[in-house]
Amino acid sequence: MRASIEVVNAMYTLAGGSAVYDGSPLQRHLRDVHVASQHITVSSNTLETIGQLLFGVEANTSRL
């Protein structure tokens, strides 16, 4: 997820002012990648819980 955000941010920056208009796919990709980055499945807490489960450590699974 972090790599995707970095790539889209770089492309958005390189595109300059034209990237802000509705006709530019980059404005949509920028919003989409940032919205996806806020999803629970890629949050640090969720990844930590999954790691604990994979290693057999007791974990709070109430948010899964």
pLDDT at 39: 86
Could you tell me the pLDDT band of residue 44, with boundaries at 50, 70 and 90? confident
Structural domain includes residue 35? yes
Structural domain includes residue 19? yes
Structural domain includes residue 59? no
Structural domain includes residue 61? no
Domain range spanning residue 23?
A: 2-39
Residue 50 to residue 41: CA distance in whole angstroms: 10
Structural domain includes residue 48? no
Is the pLDDT at 46 greater than 90, yes or no? no
Structural domain includes residue 49? no
Structural domain includes residue 52? no
Of the chain, the percentage scoring pLDDT greater than 70 comes to: 100
Number of domains in the chain: 1
Is the pLDDT at 47 greater than 80, yes or no? yes
Structural domain includes residue 60? no
Which two structure tokens, joined as six digits, stand for 13?
């920056």
Other CB atoms within 10 Å distance of the CB of residue 40: 9
Task: Give the global pTM.
Answer: 0.67
